[in-house]
Amino acid sequence: MSEAIAPHPLDAALQLRPLGGDRFQGATQPAWANMVGPFGGITAAQLLQACSEHAKRQGQPLALTVNYAAAVADGEFEIEATPVRTTRTTQHWQMTLRQQGQVCTTGSAVFALRRPTWSAPELVMPAVPPAAEVPLQTQLPPVQWLRCYQFRFVEGGWPDYQAAPEAADSRTVLWVRDEPARPLDAPALAALADVFYPRVFRRRGRFTPAGTISLTTYFHADAAALAAQGARPLLAVAAGRRFALGFFDQSAELWSDDGHLLASSHQVVYFKG
């Protein structure tokens, strides 16, 4: 008798069943549940995964946009991932996630062939203590998907929702990795890009209903560079720009622990009150 080993929660979420052509079937996972529907980052990873597993896929992820039109209900869903145009260096995708024929999520992706060129960093990783010197957050808010990550906040952890004052800025800096530990790859990075709690919580010092409307992530590293990061924590930085009339935007950077920018990510978020 062989012992069944449960897959990693991320790998469980990424198990898509090909339905032929551009169609794939997936299912929500209890491990990734958010307050309403699944964690937006896992939906982003699933849309990217559908492209990656498509028979016509060329290259590796360069850009991913996910639009959250409606909450995904617990259960099965279907992703349609269509390569709409392939050129020498890029392949453009459109994706749609449906339940009972209704569109819940749309997306687009660009896959690309990277080539050796002149290269240079511009943004520099913030100077922070190494992950091992930053305490692991052991008290997590009561949201299931947070248990899929290890959080070590350098700055801007969850506010004390009972007693926190308004903050002058919404910046958060943390070391973060999948829990259990798992080697980094593009879908893991796509999910991590959404790992920050909404910046309005930090500015206002309190919880308020909020949800990502649209998320865009740019990948700056190829599969080899992501693999080189292994399962070690990434440095993650996020801050908002303007909060107005029910919406705000926030941008994030995800750094390898040796100081390379692996991804930059942006989102516009709905909030209440």
Query: CB count, 10 Å around CB of 32?
Result: 24
Residue 232 beta carbon to its own copies: minimum distance, rounded to whole angstroms: 20
Contact (CB, 8 A) for 184 and 226: yes
- Measured from the CB atom, the residue of 144 and 214 that comes closer to its own copies is 214
- Measured from the CB atom, the residue of 12 and 71 that comes closer to its own copies is 71
The two three-digit tokens of residue 33, written as one number: 């549940």
- Measured from the CB atom, the residue of 105 and 150 that comes closer to its own copies is 105
Question: Residue 247 contacts by C-beta under 8 Å, 6 or more apart in sequence?
Answer: 213, 268, 269, 270, 271
The two three-digit tokens of residue 249, written as one number: 């935007």
Contact (CB, 8 A) for 159 and 139: no
Residues forming contacts to its own copies in the complex (CB under 8 A) are: 62-63, 65, 67, 69-70, 84-85, 87, 89-90, 92, 94, 96, 102-104, 106-108, 110, 112, 114-123, 169-170, 199, 203-204, 213-214, 216, 218, 220-222, 239-247, 249, 251, 253, 260-261, 264, 266, 268, 270-273
Residue 109 beta carbon to its own copies: minimum distance, rounded to whole angstroms: 9
- Measured from the CB atom, the residue of 175 and 271 that comes closer to its own copies is 271
- Phi then psi for residue 151, to 5 deg, are -110, 130
Residue 10 beta carbon to its own copies: minimum distance, rounded to whole angstroms: 24
Which of 116, 111, 136 is CA-nearest to residue 53? 111
Residue 175 beta carbon to its own copies: minimum distance, rounded to whole angstroms: 20
| Plot region of 167 (φ>0 → left; ψ -120 to 50 → alpha; else → beta) | beta
Residue 51 beta carbon to its own copies: minimum distance, rounded to whole angstroms: 13
- Measured from the CB atom, the residue of 46 and 150 that comes closer to its own copies is 46
